[in-house]
Homo-oligomer: A and B are copies of this chain.
């Protein structure tokens, strides 16, 4: 009859992620998190050392996962255009895997303490540089239109980064559909013909 009981800390992290996503880090009190888990606010301190620790764990683990997966793609021997497709898939996969963590990573990183913020921004910067370099290579190969690389990166990342909101609103779309739509929309644009 033992169903898998997540450790208490995992439960806390899970509820924190949901609430931080829904109401923001500042807009969420420890009391609210505690209530969801079924205890009083101060009891949380038997499991965590601070509110900020919760954010840091959730956010940094997602950021590091992104970094790792990006490095795999970047270092692969695929051609640039295929790498780009894999990047799109990566966003879809990680967003579907944990939309709350994704939302936190994108929206709440300002509340990290200084050391973590520095590391986060380094990871993000490296990610963007790799992404840009893949776009640049595709352009040099003549595979995609010549265009301001930074602006192109901005357009693509805008869409990929908003994906968590789409998934929250329309949970019925699966990974394959999302990847397909995104690749078509980004690669081919919307004009017919």
Contacts and interface: CB of A to CB of B under 8 A. Distances in A.
Nearest to A185: B155
Contacts of A192: 142-146
B181 A187 contact: no
Tallying the copies of this chain within the complex gives: 2
Contact of A155 (B142, B145, B148, B159): B159
Contacts of A189: 185-191
The SS class assigned to the A binding surface is helix
Contact of A158 (B23, B151, B162): B162
Interface size class, chain A: 35 or more
Contacts of A146: 192
Contacts of A150: 170
Contacts of A162: 154, 158, 161-162
A181 B151 contact: yes
A185 B152 contact: yes
A166 B156 CA distance: 12
Contacts of A159: 154-155, 158-159
Interface of A: 23-24, 26-27, 110, 142-148, 150-152, 154-156, 158-159, 161-162, 166, 170, 173, 181-182, 184-192
